[in-house]
Chains A and B, each alone.
Chain A
Amino acid sequence: MASLHELQKSFADALRDPTVACAVLPPANLSIYRNNARAAFLSALELTFPVVRRRVGDDYFRQLATHYRERSPSRSGDLHWAGRDFPPFLDEHLRGGDYAWLADLARIEWSRAECSVAAALPVLSATALARFAAHDFEHLVFGLQPSLRLHSSPYPVFSVWLANQTENAPPVDQSRGSECGMVLARSDHLEVRHINERMFSFLSALQSGLPLGEAIVHADLEIEALTGALDFIFSENLVSSLSLNEAPPTTK
């Protein structure tokens, strides 16, 4: 008699491959479990990537999801994370073709999935800057909200995502070229919006932990643009903490 471990292995093999036998009765009913597993995985992907699905249609989305599952089967009892590797899968699968941009579109949607369950930290207003001496500003490290994700793509994928919130949206002209944008969890919705390239560079630098002075250099910001960038990050409630890079905070 097979051990429990052997039995579960053969059951699992039979779920993956209908031609594999397993000591259950009636064998045909294994298809119910096979279909349940497939449907649960597909449903998780459909929930996570609604605009990708809308752009490619149900049939092709199912094909992509099936291939993706063969490559990256579920590794958790929590299907929320089943789509983690779908964008790089699309990258590889569609590279060089007319639909290569779908991978970056999927990255936006995966960011939405991550942001939708990220912690929301208390927001700091610009008045928090007053706690620091002006000569320390260049050493300030900005903690941004954990639910903020930034993207830069050679394709107009933010325009595609925003245009496809309803069925039958017209295609977006791919010649519009590169776009940057951000995804952020607000208290009652997930925001997806364009940002310009400099703002993307600035926010990316801050998000990577660079102090303000280095982030300014990284994004090549002039003083006027810097004022606008700081106004943006505080008015959009992106900042959750401020600290000095190395030395303890210097108060006035």
Chain B
Amino acid sequence: MTRLATRGVPLGPIPARAGIGLRSVHHDALLEQRPDVGFIEAHTENYFHDGGAAVRALERARTNYPLSLHGVGLGLGSAEGIDRAHLERVRAAIHRFEPALVSEHACWGHAGGEWFNDLLPLPATEEAARLLAQQVSEAQEFLGVQLLIENVSAYVAFEHATLSEWEFLGEVVARSGCALLLDVNNIYVSSQNLGLDAQACIAGLPAASVREIHLAGHERAGGVLIDSHSSKVCDEVWELYRVAIARFGPLPTLVEWDNDIPSLATLVAESHRAQHLLDQRHGLAA
């Protein structure tokens, strides 16, 4: 987005610094402590409403930090089409909060009139890439912004997939003109669950299209890694992050923590770790 700031903080681009995912339990602490983070990212759906404490808190936080809005409910890969009412609420949130980045997921979420409220995986096929790209294009036109599309964690593979994940995402970028949000933890989780090559995925993505990185923790349940966002980032993911910023350059990097949420100080410390790696690699001032 290129509009000028109206809230005291530049609307874009978000600096190539580390930020934090804003969750309601941290609203008061963030406003009081104003920690040194590069930006905040909020789940769009949590701020859909006409009023309330959460909306007021984000409006206040928005005066101190650049904002990224990150949608988790649109499911633009749903074959039954885009939920227009949901899309309109995303647009209202964009107008209200003036984010510098707006992102969604490469996933689907509803079928037969039922929403599953999860990031359901798409098969890496030409058909799915075409449909996702078409609906991303429609959404971008309606919203008036370029979307960043995030790769999701996968616990299953599709028997008839014909593309690699990076080929699939590259196809969506080429067809829709969207950008990418690379979730390094998701790549790691999928690679462990499905026997994929995480480094090959990072190497294969269209480098110029990656505009943001996500980091998060996961947990192991039996033999499966679950993208739980419930712990610190593991060493293997930090290592992949080093690989990613070496390839894609300095990028806004978000630490997400959605379950078993720690104190704001712990979350900020985790983001500072990402900032340290950015500084090490690219010599950026914190």
Range of interface residues on A (Cβ < 8 Å): 35 or more
Q: How far is the CB of A10 from chain B (nearest CB, A)?
A: 9
- Judge whether A5 and B193 touch: CB under 8 Å: no
Q: How far is the CB of B8 from chain A (nearest CB, A)?
A: 23
Contact stretch, chosen from B30-38, B157-165, B209-217, B273-281: B157-165
- Judge whether A78 and B89 touch: CB under 8 Å: yes
Contact stretch, chosen from A22-30, A151-159, A170-178, A218-226: A22-30
Does chain B have a CB within 8 A of A11? yes
Least CB separation from A29: chain B residue: B155
Tell me what chain B mostly uses at the interface: helix, strand, loop, or mixed.
mixed
Contact stretch, chosen from A89-97, A101-109, A115-123: A115-123
Q: How far is the CA of A74 from the CA of B115 in the complex (A)?
A: 5
Interface residues of A in 1-60 (CB under 8 A from B): 1-5, 7-9, 11-13, 15-16, 23-27, 29-30, 32-33, 36-37, 40-41
Interface residues of A in 78-94 (CB under 8 A from B): 78-80
- Judge whether A33 and B158 touch: CB under 8 Å: no
Known A-B contacts A26-B156, A117-B51; A41 and B79 likewise in contact (beta carbons under 8 Å): no
Q: How far is the CB of B47 from chain A (nearest CB, A)?
A: 9
From B49, B111, B117, give the contact of A11 (CB < 8 A): B111
Given contacts A8-B108, A75-B114, A80-B48, could you give 5 more A-B pairs where the C-beta distance is less than 8 Å? A5-B79, A41-B117, A73-B114, A117-B54, A118-B50
Most buried by B among A23, A76, A78, A119: A78
Chain B residues in the interface with A (C-beta under 8 A): 45, 48-55, 72-75, 78-80, 83, 85-86, 89, 108-118, 120, 122-123, 125, 127-128, 131, 155-160, 193, 221, 224, 226
Known A-B contacts A4-B127, A7-B123, A37-B116; A77 and B157 likewise in contact (beta carbons under 8 Å): no
Q: How far is the CA of A188 from the CA of B57 in the complex (A)?
A: 11
- Judge whether A23 and B114 touch: CB under 8 Å: no
- Judge whether B83 and A76 touch: CB under 8 Å: yes
Most buried by A among B52, B78, B109: B52
- 27 A-B pairs with C-beta separation under 8 A: A2-B160, A4-B125, A4-B127, A5-B80, A8-B79, A8-B120, A9-B112, A23-B159, A24-B159, A26-B156, A30-B156, A32-B224, A33-B118, A37-B118, A73-B115, A74-B114, A75-B114, A77-B72, A77-B74, A77-B110, A77-B117, A78-B86, A79-B45, A117-B48, A118-B49, A119-B51, A188-B53
Does chain B have a CB within 8 A of A207? no
Known A-B contacts A12-B116, A40-B118, A77-B73; A24 and B50 likewise in contact (beta carbons under 8 Å): no
Does chain B have a CB within 8 A of A111? no
Least CB separation from B128: chain A residue: A4
The 10 closest A-B pairs by CB, nearest first: A77-B73, A117-B49, A12-B111, A119-B50, A24-B156, A5-B79, A29-B155, A117-B52, A119-B51, A74-B115
- Judge whether A15 and B73 touch: CB under 8 Å: no
Q: How far is the CA of A188 from the CA of B52 in the complex (A)?
A: 9
Q: How far is the CA of A88 from the CA of B106 in the complex (A)?
A: 36
Contacts of B52 in A (CB 8 A): 116-118, 185
Q: How far is the CA of A27 from the CA of B122 in the complex (A)?
A: 15
Q: How far is the CA of A78 from the CA of B226 in the complex (A)?
A: 22
Least CB separation from B122: chain A residue: A4
From A8, A9, A76, give the contact of B86 (CB < 8 A): A76
Q: How far is the CA of A9 from the CA of B78 in the complex (A)?
A: 10
Does chain B have a CB within 8 A of A146? yes
Least CB separation from B130: chain A residue: A4
Contacts of A32 in B (CB 8 A): 155, 221, 224, 226
From B89, B110, B156, give the contact of A25 (CB < 8 A): B156
Does chain B have a CB within 8 A of A201? no
Q: How far is the CA of A88 from the CA of B53 in the complex (A)?
A: 27
Contacts of A9 in B (CB 8 A): 111-112
- Judge whether B74 and A29 touch: CB under 8 Å: no
A186-228 interface bits toward B, Cβ cutoff 8 Å, 1 = contact, 0 = none? 0010000000000000000000000000000000000000000
From A4, A7, A75, give the contact of B115 (CB < 8 A): A75
Most buried by A among B117, B128, B155, B224: B117
Q: How far is the CA of A73 from the CA of B117 in the complex (A)?
A: 11
Q: How far is the CA of A79 from the CA of B74 in the complex (A)?
A: 12
- Judge whether A15 and B116 touch: CB under 8 Å: yes
- Judge whether B111 and A8 touch: CB under 8 Å: yes
Q: How far is the CB of B272 from chain A (nearest CB, A)?
A: 30
Q: How far is the CA of A8 from the CA of B75 in the complex (A)?
A: 12
Q: How far is the CA of A73 from the CA of B112 in the complex (A)?
A: 11
Q: How far is the CA of A73 from the CA of B108 in the complex (A)?
A: 17
- Judge whether B127 and A77 touch: CB under 8 Å: no
Contacts of A185 in B (CB 8 A): 51-52
Q: How far is the CB of A19 from chain B (nearest CB, A)?
A: 17
Q: How far is the CA of A190 from the CA of B114 in the complex (A)?
A: 31
Q: How far is the CA of A199 from the CA of B211 in the complex (A)?
A: 57
